[in-house]
Structure 1
Amino acid sequence: MTSDTQNNRAGDQGLFRAYLREFLRFDPPTIRRAALLNIISAGMEGAGLLMLLPLLTLAGVFDTEDSSFTVAHSLLSSLKLNWDFETALVFFVTLIAVQAWLMLLRDRVCRSLQLRFADHLKQRLYDAVAHSRWSYLTGRHSGEILNVLTSEVQRIGIGTYFLLRLSTLSLLALAYLSVAFRMSPPLALLALGTGLLLWLLLRSTDRASRESGILLGQANRDLLTRTQDFLSALKLIKIHGEEASHICQFNDAVTDVSRRFIDFQKSWTRAQMAYRMGGAVALAILSYSALTLMALTPARLLVMIAIFARMLPHLSEIAGGRQQLLHMLPAFSAWQNLLAACMANRDFPPARDEPAPLQDRIVLGRVAFRHPQSHLALTVEHLAIPAKKTTAIVGVSGAGKTTLLDLLSGLLAPDSGTIWVDGVALAELPGWRKSIAYIPQETLIQDGTLRDNLLWGNAAPTDNEIRCALEQSALFELTEKLTRGLDTPIGERGVKLSGGEKQRLALARALLRKPQLLILDEATSALDGDSHRQVLDTVRGLHGNMTILIVSHRHEELAGLIDGSVQVADGRVEPWRPAPGHR
């Protein structure tokens, strides 16, 4: 055995132990219940096989002096039954009925356990992603995260089904072997040894199963990444007439996923065929040995063949289930690695429901930050932004304006220096983000109604609060014209609204948060003149009620609106300067 093979197997064993620990911690009471049902079901299966002996004896196939019959007869006699062929048949049917009922309960518990465990993995990872630092998330493609949350977790769920199935099949195989040992210990030992030899010979498929799982995970990630990129750029693709090339790329990705899955299926089916053929050869050897070497009676041989014939498919399924688990382990590794990375980059402290007040000013002192995904390095020697004022953030594209806003909002943490809000360090204000309303250039509009989008990210506002926000954002007249009002569907990403209507909807949603700090990051740059003026008029009406930061290239239209400005150039942030006519 090569060192690489040993390392791979050691890695698989460590990964499987980690997976098993995660599973066993999930729901111990239900797992114990499933294990108990498995044990009882296997015991009932063995009891059903043992019942064949007295039945065949009473039918005249075996001698009543046979030791196997004597044991079964003594056991049933202890139940004070009138032991005859009819009683044995009734008892046998009852036993099989109870066994079928237990198997039904077992399968329901195991299937529920599998589905809930997969849901648990999704929920844990979703929570970890949601609480990760923004600086970390910007370095991960959303397609990679989506792939783990969907495809990889689904594969883990399938692997969990095979794990539960393996435990069932293993207990059944033990039940069959116990009956076989009762009838002929030498023959049962020979069968056990033959099965172990066959398993050792076919372990060569382990590497192929593991590598197939890795390649399938990569193919699924590429497919989801391409799909997301395609949907996000669909309008531009259609404008440029590039549909054909993207269809070709998508088809290649789909074909790659199918090829990886088919490769595993080929490996799996070849192993299954080998187990079946090997099992048939082993059964022939056992039958020959039983008749010629062990002088087993034909009747007893017939029962042994029936036992082994029932056991061999289970052994084949055990081998296939083991391959499925090896194929699943790379998916669990992807989930485990992403979860660990998110936990290592966890965003603390979590936001509280109570917003933090802003009454005096925001101060940045000797703040430095280097963005991990770009060459930008932002430095702020001293910046004091007064509260209840409207401030313009000025600078060319790429100067660092958005990074400055991310620092002010607490989305990014400075590498050095401190940010204070009313004299309290921002790191000590877990409710700060609840005090902020942020409107980016690309407005987030969800599929649903106007009301759904207004309520997104907000508590249940009153009708008066909604009406006030609509009036402040110059959106009330639009809702009055619509037949269904706020319950009007606006389509995916708000396709039924104009650019100006989307921005005003985003502004109304922001106002419903009753923010201490309102941030407009190039929120009006894509609007036409009328829509741009309407949004600015709304901002003008909010003047003095809250702290407002505006990033805009149309500086001339901000005249008379702002109280001061902050210049950002090449990552250097200048102090706050009052606007002409302001002190």
Structure 2
Amino acid sequence: MTGLENTAGVLVLLLAVMNSDQFASRPRNKGLFRAYMREFLNFDPPVIRRAVMLSLATAGMEGAGLMLLLPLLTLAGVFDKEGGNFPFGNRMLTSLKLDWNLENALVIFVVLISVQAWLVLLRDRVTRSLYLRFTDHLRQRLYESLAYSRWSFLIGRHSGEILNVLNSEVQRISVGTFFLLRLFTLSLLALTYLFVAFRISATLALLALSTGMLLWLLLRSSDGSSRASGGQLGQANNRLFTLTQEFLSALKLIKIHGEEASNIRQFNSAVTDVSRRFLDFQKSWTRAQMTFRVGGACALALLSYAALTLMQLSPARLLAMIAIFAKLLPQLSDIAGGRQQLLHMLPAFSAWRDLMRASEANRAPPTNDATIPLEQHIVINQVRFQHPQSHLTLTVEHLKIPAKTTTAITGVSGSGKTTLVDVLSGLIAPDSGSILVDGVPLEQLPGWCKSIAYIPQETLIQGGTLRDNLLWGNTAPSAAEIRQALEQSALSALIEKLPDKLETHIGERGVKLSGGEKQRLALARALLRKPQLLILDEATSALDGDNHRQLLDTLRGLHGNMTILVVSHRHEELAGLIDGTVFMEDGKVGPWRPALADS
């Protein structure tokens, strides 16, 4: 009878280790399971070996208990010596050299159960920690890879897709890894039960093994649906994350336009789709478990009949076989369901691996913390860049921006001003041409990003206190440096009025601050970096008159101390502040012209 259950365990091991490509038969997924296994086995080999040894020890103790079943029942007087004869178990008892009676037999029974329970406790602790740490490892690796990838690669990916892989898909890999470890444990136990069953009756065990193979082959037809449902669930989760991300980004506009109802319908549809995909898999999973349970019951009836009528098996041995089968029957459905969970997980691992490979292939050059001085000029020659998200082609024949000047980059919306700033800052690499900082090619200056402070139109303000925001991205400035940055950004008066000063909480995304206060806070944070190049990308466009003038007065106080680029489509408002202008039109960048030439 044990052979029936063992069949599932044996085939799981054979499938997972010797013929793992069967888990992903389509050409696109060929070798996917092997890639997953390599990733897992290379994660923490010592702990994996410890988990394997504990699983082996647990299975060994389980086998020892089964071996002693008949001899202990004989000692207890349940069977006579002839009916309970089991040479292998008897030799185990004899080797202990004890005066065997019912009391000693019960003590041994308690000791075996206690040791096995302790081993199971250790095994479960190790395996639980293992798959949880493996999940963290995958999430952290992907996060790090994305953080170091090129900006040109990141802008081509929807943030909803990235969030889906980092959260939902990695969590699905965690579930699959749990079932992988469980399958290994169950398979070891199944092999143990098979060994004991062969000791009791080789013929009956072989018959059960054949029956199990038939059940296994019958359920192989559900493999394709498990893989397909895993892929469909990943797509549904991706749509849900994308809709959620877009909803949060456009929440203010949605409220103003009164579009709540349509967004709710879209979200509800996405949630329903995720649930439907998950339920489809659950149907397949529970169907497989039911088939194994019904098949196991049929096999039990068939083998019991064969044992009693054809093989004339003694009641003691038949009882032992039934006991083994009773242990295996619930495990059988777990093995079948666990295998389908693995198949269902593989599309999630594929999504993680694809995004991981893409981000690693687009890894940005390494940076360092050394500040690059800008004393002479920035020169751009023969630069071309095709924006991946639009038809815009940035073209710069020759542009020379003097150091320690304030330059306005102007042009109508969509002319490529932000793209030029991205190229100047080293955020994106041009398709051709060169960028020189004091005569040194930009690609040879890994610390250039540490020499830049950037303030976008949509100011990034973190939840927390004013101090938290000032320190974001800055290495522990002194109190004097903070005080100087606050004075330069005209924030000192505001801070003094607040009861908690810099410890004042400003709410999520700085909702307690006005637009001008947010911009001045962002400027103070930027100045704490002691930048060589300060870039304001349409940073004044959303400000009212008073805040606009205050920010321009602040910039006027910084004039001549650092190189400043002010991106604006209204350069006339910068009169008296700027030293030169760069005009752009349809991606074409003109030369740097002194401010007097504009008058």
TM-score using structure 2 length: 0.94
Give the C-alpha shift of residue 554 in structure 1: 3.1
Contact in 2 for aligned 1:62/1:299 (Cα 8 Å): yes
The match for 1:373 is 389
Looking at structure 1, the residues matched to 210 and 311 of structure 2 have their Cα atoms a distance apart, in angstroms, of: 16
Looking at structure 2, the residues matched to 18 and 530 of structure 1 have their Cα atoms a distance apart, in angstroms, of: 60
Looking at structure 2, the residues matched to 432 and 62 of structure 1 have their Cα atoms a distance apart, in angstroms, of: 85
Looking at structure 1, the residues matched to 186 and 435 of structure 2 have their Cα atoms a distance apart, in angstroms, of: 61
Equivalent residue of 1:576, what SS? strand
The match for 2:10 is none
Looking at structure 2, the residues matched to 216 and 440 of structure 1 have their Cα atoms a distance apart, in angstroms, of: 37
Give the C-alpha shift of residue 278 in structure 1: 0.6
Q: Report whether the alignment pairs 1:353 with 2:369.
A: yes
Unaligned runs of 5+ in 2: 1-21
Contact in 1 for aligned 2:436/2:442 (Cα 8 Å): yes
The match for 2:198 is 181
The match for 1:150 is 167
Contact in 2 for aligned 1:237/1:243 (Cα 8 Å): yes
| Mapping for residues 70-89 of structure 1, pairs under 5 Å | 70-89=87-106
The match for 1:408 is 424
Looking at structure 1, the residues matched to 184 and 548 of structure 2 have their Cα atoms a distance apart, in angstroms, of: 66
Q: Which moved more, 1:155-164 or 1:73-82?
A: 73-82
AA in 2 matched with 1:333: S
The match for 2:325 is 308
Q: Which moved more, 1:489-498 or 1:96-105?
A: 489-498
Closer/same/farther in 2, CA of residues 46 and 11 from structure 1, 3 Å limit = farther
AA in 2 matched with 1:553: H
Give the C-alpha shift of residue 73 in structure 1: 2.6
Contact in 1 for aligned 2:24/2:30 (Cα 8 Å): no
| Mapping for residues 126-525 of structure 1, pairs under 5 Å | 126-348=143-365, 350-525=366-541
- 1:181-227: CA deviations, max 9, x gaps? 11111111111111111011111111111111011101111111101
Equivalent residue of 1:369, what SS? strand
Looking at structure 2, the residues matched to 248 and 531 of structure 1 have their Cα atoms a distance apart, in angstroms, of: 40
Equivalent residue of 1:366, what SS? strand
The match for 2:16 is none
| Mapping for residues 53-64 of structure 1, pairs under 5 Å | 53-64=70-81
TM-score using structure 1 length: 0.97
Give the C-alpha shift of residue 12 in structure 1: 5.2
Contact in 2 for aligned 1:290/1:301 (Cα 8 Å): yes
Contact in 2 for aligned 1:68/1:182 (Cα 8 Å): no
Q: Which moved more, 1:257-266 or 1:150-159?
A: 257-266
Unaligned runs of 5+ in 1: none
Give the C-alpha shift of residue 57 in structure 1: 1.1
Looking at structure 2, the residues matched to 41 and 11 of structure 1 have their Cα atoms a distance apart, in angstroms, of: 39
AA in 2 matched with 1:98: V
The match for 2:19 is none
Give the C-alpha shift of residue 11 in structure 1: 5.6
Give the C-alpha shift of residue 70 in structure 1: 3.3
AA in 1 matched with 2:147: A
Looking at structure 2, the residues matched to 422 and 515 of structure 1 have their Cα atoms a distance apart, in angstroms, of: 16
AA in 1 matched with 2:34: R
Contact in 1 for aligned 2:84/2:317 (Cα 8 Å): no
Looking at structure 2, the residues matched to 505 and 154 of structure 1 have their Cα atoms a distance apart, in angstroms, of: 38
The match for 1:546 is 562
Looking at structure 2, the residues matched to 40 and 11 of structure 1 have their Cα atoms a distance apart, in angstroms, of: 39
AA in 2 matched with 1:229: E
Looking at structure 1, the residues matched to 248 and 586 of structure 2 have their Cα atoms a distance apart, in angstroms, of: 34
- 1:290-345: CA deviations, max 9, x gaps? 01111101221111111112112212211110000000000000000000111111
Contact in 1 for aligned 2:409/2:583 (Cα 8 Å): yes
Residue identity over aligned pairs, in percent, reads: 74
Closer/same/farther in 2, CA of residues 300 and 9 from structure 1, 3 Å limit = farther
AA in 1 matched with 2:593: R
Looking at structure 2, the residues matched to 13 and 130 of structure 1 have their Cα atoms a distance apart, in angstroms, of: 29
Contact in 1 for aligned 2:410/2:581 (Cα 8 Å): yes
Looking at structure 2, the residues matched to 177 and 190 of structure 1 have their Cα atoms a distance apart, in angstroms, of: 12
Looking at structure 1, the residues matched to 399 and 486 of structure 2 have their Cα atoms a distance apart, in angstroms, of: 34
Choose the corresponding residue for 2:113, options 96, 109, 114: 96
The match for 1:34 is 51
Choose the corresponding residue for 1:537, options 549, 553, 570: 553
- Root-mean-square deviation (CA, aligned residues, Å) is 1.6
Give the C-alpha shift of residue 17 in structure 1: 0.5
Looking at structure 2, the residues matched to 11 and 276 of structure 1 have their Cα atoms a distance apart, in angstroms, of: 34
- 1:107-152: CA deviations, max 9, x gaps? 0100100110000000110011111111111111000000000000
The match for 1:561 is 577
Contact in 1 for aligned 2:538/2:567 (Cα 8 Å): yes
- 1:7-50: CA deviations, max 9, x gaps? 73666561110000000000000000000000000010111111
Closer/same/farther in 2, CA of residues 411 and 78 from structure 1, 3 Å limit = same
Equivalent residue of 2:206, what SS? helix
Looking at structure 1, the residues matched to 542 and 476 of structure 2 have their Cα atoms a distance apart, in angstroms, of: 31
Equivalent residue of 1:452, what SS? helix
Contact in 2 for aligned 1:516/1:547 (Cα 8 Å): yes
Looking at structure 2, the residues matched to 70 and 136 of structure 1 have their Cα atoms a distance apart, in angstroms, of: 69
Choose the corresponding residue for 2:36, options 2, 14, 19: 19
AA in 2 matched with 1:576: W
Looking at structure 1, the residues matched to 86 and 116 of structure 2 have their Cα atoms a distance apart, in angstroms, of: 22
Equivalent residue of 2:383, what SS? strand
Looking at structure 1, the residues matched to 578 and 107 of structure 2 have their Cα atoms a distance apart, in angstroms, of: 92
Contact in 2 for aligned 1:64/1:70 (Cα 8 Å): no
Contact in 1 for aligned 2:24/2:33 (Cα 8 Å): no
Closer/same/farther in 2, CA of residues 208 and 492 from structure 1, 3 Å limit = same
Closer/same/farther in 2, CA of residues 124 and 428 from structure 1, 3 Å limit = same
Give the C-alpha shift of residue 567 in structure 1: 1.1
AA in 1 matched with 2:486: L
Contact in 1 for aligned 2:83/2:315 (Cα 8 Å): no
AA in 2 matched with 1:554: R
Paired residues, what number?
Answer: 578
AA in 2 matched with 1:409: S
Choose the corresponding residue for 2:62, options 45, 50, 60: 45
- 1:37-95: CA deviations, max 9, x gaps? 00000010111111211111112233435685333232232222222221111011101
Q: Which moved more, 1:553-562 or 1:211-220?
A: 553-562
Looking at structure 2, the residues matched to 401 and 12 of structure 1 have their Cα atoms a distance apart, in angstroms, of: 43
Q: Which moved more, 1:482-491 or 1:116-125?
A: 482-491
Contact in 2 for aligned 1:68/1:183 (Cα 8 Å): no
Closer/same/farther in 2, CA of residues 9 and 363 from structure 1, 3 Å limit = closer
Contact in 2 for aligned 1:180/1:304 (Cα 8 Å): yes
Q: Report whether the alignment pairs 1:574 with 2:599.
A: no
Contact in 1 for aligned 2:68/2:90 (Cα 8 Å): no
Equivalent residue of 2:168, what SS? helix
